[in-house]
């Protein structure tokens, strides 16, 4: 939403990497939606991917800031 509304110039969360690393679970969760309409399970998985991506982004930002100050 922030990217779409021009608040951010580039997206900074990449949940696709998480989905790739957890490919089987990703497909299992999608299948659960398709087969039984289990959107709650999918939403929990997706929210976990976003949280993980945000934590990685925060750590990366802190490392960049630290490197900037050390240089």
Cβ-defined contacts of 5-12 (< 8 Å, 24+) = 12/57
Round to whole Å and give the CA distance between 54 and 13.
6
* 3-class state of residue 42 by DSSP: helix
Spatial separation of the C-alpha atoms in residues 45 and 50, rounded to whole Å? 9
Evaluate the CA torsion angle 31, 37, 43, 45 in order and state its sign: negative
Specify the pTM: 0.75
**Residue 6 confidence (pLDDT):** 80
Q: What pLDDT score was predicted for residue 60?
A: 86
Please report, for the chain, the start and end positions of each structural domain, with discontinuous segments joined by +. 15-70
pLDDT band with cut points at 50, 70 and 90 for residue 12: confident
The pLDDT of residue 50 is 95
How many helices (H) and strands (E) are present in the chain, helices listed first? Answer: 3, 0
Q: Picking from 8-17, 37-46, 60-69, which range would have the lowest pLDDT averaged per residue? A: 8-17
């Amino acid at each position: 939403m922030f990217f779409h509304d021009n608040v951010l110039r580039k997206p900074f969360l990449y949940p696709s990497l998480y989905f790739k690393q957890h490919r089987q679970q990703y497909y299992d969760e999608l299948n659960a939606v398709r087969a039984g309409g289990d959107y709650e399970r999918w939403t929990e998985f997706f929210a976990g991917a976003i949280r993980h991506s945000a934590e990685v982004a925060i750590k990366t930002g802190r490392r960049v800031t630290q490197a900037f100050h050390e240089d």
